[in-house]
Structure 1
Amino acid sequence: MNILVANDDGIRARGLTELVRALSGEASVYVCAPDGQRSASGHGITVSKYITVKEERVEGAEYALSTSGTPADCVKLGMKILSEKGVKIDMLFSGINHGGNLGTDVLYSGTVAAAMEGSICGVPSVAVSVDNHDASHFDCAAHLAVEALRKGHGNLSPGIVLNINTPDLPENEIKGLRFTTLGNREYKEFFAPVDMGDGTKGYRYNGEPVVYEGLPGSIDVIAIQDGYASITPIHRDLTAYEMVEEIKKWRIG
């Protein structure tokens, strides 16, 4: 079995190294990842300039590339380059991300975008994240990735992405695993102004996640808040089906 690993934290991120190490015990692992940080890049792709590509060495990987592109670029281009080398990718894993990808975070996440791109390319895909931007505990996330590979290969539809999140805790301190739905991921957010020195003012985004009370533990945000790991099946169909017949009645146009 051949696995492609991508991420949005860059090819040198510890999370990617830990994921490759874990998966390489189960399959042949290939890597195509950004050459630097691309967090919160969403599902953008590069169309107005060239994407540069460089061969890299990643322990445990059969072959590795870094690119100047986005996470989605890495998946799309990586699969093309590997196909030309006669390598057919069977599953795609994105991560392990330094920072959670919960609830509405998935709309911004480069990690989830890479997994969604794998799905678009017809490959069963998994996104894996640890809920801390300074993450130091990857064991549970790596373990769940391996389990997703073992149980998902042959069973996971290419149209579905498994979105795995774990608390940044030693594996033996995580309370368990919940199978969840997406929730709201709100932040107490602000833009810090900075004098750019050329007469213009810059703003840098920052924020702290809101802590919720009284919400069901079946929501991914609450599962992580309660000290559990979560797995949420997601897909790219954003259609509000219940509204299709309703808007016909509006006689727009």
Structure 2
Amino acid sequence: MGVDRNSRRLNVLVVNDDGIHSEGLRQLTQALSKVASVYVCAPDTQRSGASQSLTLTDRIYINEAVYPGAEGALMVTGTPTDCTKVGLQFFGERGISFDLIYSGVNLGSNLGCDTLYSGTVGAAMEGALSGVRSIALSLDSHKATDFTVACELAVDVIDMAMEKIGPDTILNINVPYIPRAEIKGIRTCALGGRYYSDGFVEQPGGGYELEGYPAPEEDESLRLDMAALGAGYVTITPMHCDYTQFDKMETVEAFGLKLRT
């Protein structure tokens, strides 16, 4: 570690969307605690698919928790983004300022258009909006038990994030869930398409649940995150919050829309 090691340990806030009882959160916290002072703020239960949503019309409840490897922990009844905001505020009121935010380790990858729905990515984006360098970290399995490679990467990427990546950018990292020896390396990728064929299906006893599967990816280039992960690479995608499609601005302006008179 080359950043701030001679003066103090970094303060790292760890959040997630799988909930405070997630094994990925536990292993990430313990790994980071060896090199930083770690604080946890996580939902009380599963909150996947929450994107960057905030709780605005309901109350949330915040409770202290004891968490292995963490110097402080909070359990929140709100969304992952709520957890980022709560962690920054409540620990901040105790005099703790954060150098870095980690969101994860998520069960399941967050690739392509998934990132628009992902609570993991949304919580990291909230960190970036708050001016704190943030990293979203996901493992390509919904049944994973071993997060070792992802946690090692979490530690190894800290110096780059602190020295080379500004707080307006998040790093979205996805790790294949295959034996370490089979991982081909690390690739920096753009977001792929990853659209879904899905719909709401009526369930026994009433109600509907969203069911479906990813549609086939037409572009298999390893420059895209979905293809590279599927080929056995760790993928890293720098992302930011500006959705502006700059190459279309002149097109819209040239159309000459005017208000009716």
Tell me which interval the TM-score lies in, with the shorter structure as reference length.
over 0.9
Cα distance between partner residues in 1 of 2:67 and 2:181: 28
Are 1:240 and 2:249 counterparts?
Answer: no
* Equivalent in 45, 54, 61 of residue 54 of structure 2: 45
| Preserved contact between residue 35 and residue 68 of structure 1 (Cα < 8 Å) | yes
| Preserved contact between residue 162 and residue 231 of structure 1 (Cα < 8 Å) | yes
- How many aligned positions are there? 249
Partner of 1:97: 106
SS in structure 2 of the partner of residue 222 of structure 1: helix
The alignment's C-alpha RMSD in Å is 1.4
Partner of 1:230: 235
Partner of 1:207: 212
Q: For residues 51-90 of structure 1, what are the structure 2 equivalents within 5 Å? A: 51-90=60-99
Quick one: which amino acid aligns to residue 227 of structure 1?
A: G
Q: Which runs of 5+ in 1 are unaligned?
A: none
Partner of 2:175: 166
Cα distance between partner residues in 1 of 2:190 and 2:15: 24
Once the two structures are overlaid, the 10-residue window that deviates more, 203-212 or 216-225, is 203-212
Are 1:20 and 2:29 counterparts?
Answer: yes
TM-score of the superposed pair, with normalisation by structure 2: 0.91
| Preserved contact between residue 139 and residue 171 of structure 1 (Cα < 8 Å) | no
Cα distance between partner residues in 1 of 2:199 and 2:175: 26
Cα distance, 1:248 vs. partner?
1.3
SS in structure 1 of the partner of residue 244 of structure 2: coil
SS in structure 1 of the partner of residue 144 of structure 2: coil
Cα distance, 1:63 vs. partner?
0.2
- For residues 140-199 of structure 1, the C-alpha deviation after alignment (integer angstroms, 9 at most, x for no partner) is 211111111132223220010000001112322212111111011123424321244xxx
TM-score of the superposed pair, with normalisation by structure 1: 0.94
Identity level (%): 44
Quick one: which amino acid aligns to residue 69 of structure 1?
A: G
Quick one: which amino acid aligns to residue 256 of structure 2?
A: R
SS in structure 1 of the partner of residue 73 of structure 2: strand
Cα distance, 1:137 vs. partner?
3.2
Quick one: which amino acid aligns to residue 19 of structure 2?
A: G
Are 1:219 and 2:224 counterparts?
Answer: yes
Cα distance, 1:251 vs. partner?
2.3
* Equivalent in 133, 150, 157 of residue 148 of structure 1: 157
| Preserved contact between residue 139 and residue 170 of structure 1 (Cα < 8 Å) | no
Cα distance between partner residues in 2 of 1:213 and 1:181: 15
Structure 1 runs (4+) deviating above 4 angstroms are: none
Once the two structures are overlaid, the 10-residue window that deviates more, 89-98 or 241-250, is 241-250
Are 1:34 and 2:39 counterparts?
Answer: no
Cα distance between partner residues in 1 of 2:238 and 2:119: 17
Quick one: which amino acid aligns to residue 76 of structure 1?
A: K
Quick one: which amino acid aligns to residue 144 of structure 2?
A: A
| Preserved contact between residue 31 and residue 63 of structure 1 (Cα < 8 Å) | yes
| Preserved contact between residue 190 and residue 224 of structure 2 (Cα < 8 Å) | yes
Once the two structures are overlaid, the 10-residue window that deviates more, 209-218 or 117-126, is 209-218
- For residues 47-93 of structure 1, the C-alpha deviation after alignment (integer angstroms, 9 at most, x for no partner) is 11221001111110000001011000000111000110000011000
Cα distance between partner residues in 2 of 1:24 and 1:105: 29
Cα distance between partner residues in 1 of 2:157 and 2:29: 14
